[in-house]
Amino acid sequence: MAEIKKIVVIGPESTGKSTLSADLAAALHTVWVPEYAREYLEHLGRSYTAEDLLHIANGQLKSEDEKALLSNKVLVCDTDLNVIKVWSENAYGVCHPWVLEQIAQRRYDLYLLTDIDIPWQDDPLREHGQPEQRRYFYNIYKDIVTNSGIPWAAISGGKEDRLKQALAAMLSSGI
């Protein structure tokens, strides 16, 4: 079996990651990995804790591994554990060592960094909607992808533009 190429759509909250992930997977006739945190938090019934973030990280990786078996040469991931790291450090000032180990071990082939140029969509699970917060988190994710050693592309504009940019980034990175 050929090696599966993994693309991660990453960025701050409410920047179109799920939409782009679904659109890209459809264009590539493959599957995508939804953000596990949403499913987990929707059924939690209480405020999350630092321990919940570890459960979310485990669930995200499990979903990724399961979807990889169903993929068609490319797997699109709506987030990776860098999001858990940023979330944990912001909320609790620390990230669990297991999450950091997984970040170091997991391999991806391309990051697509979604810009904050689309309007904030309010949602009970989202926390950082102020423009300065969105910019702050965008810059953190930009630093992560810039320093990852993995090809990455900034994705901006409307829905169709974002898909075109993502496909062009894949092509330029050899995927």
CA distance 39 to 125: 10
The Cα-based distances of 115 to 81, 87, 103 in angstroms read 19, 18, 22
Residues in the chain: 175
CA distance 137 to 123: 17
Segment holding 117, helix H or strand E = none
pLDDT of residue 132: 86
Per-residue pLDDT of the chain (175 residues; tens, 9 = 90+): 468 999 999 999 889 999 999 999 999 999 999 999 988 988 888 888 999 999 999 999 999 999 999 999 999 999 999 999 999 999 999 999 999 999 999 999 999 999 999 876 666 554 555 768 899 999 999 999 999 999 999 999 999 999 999 999 999 999 9
Structural domains present in the chain: 5-172 (3.40.50.300)
pTM flag (> 0.85):
yes
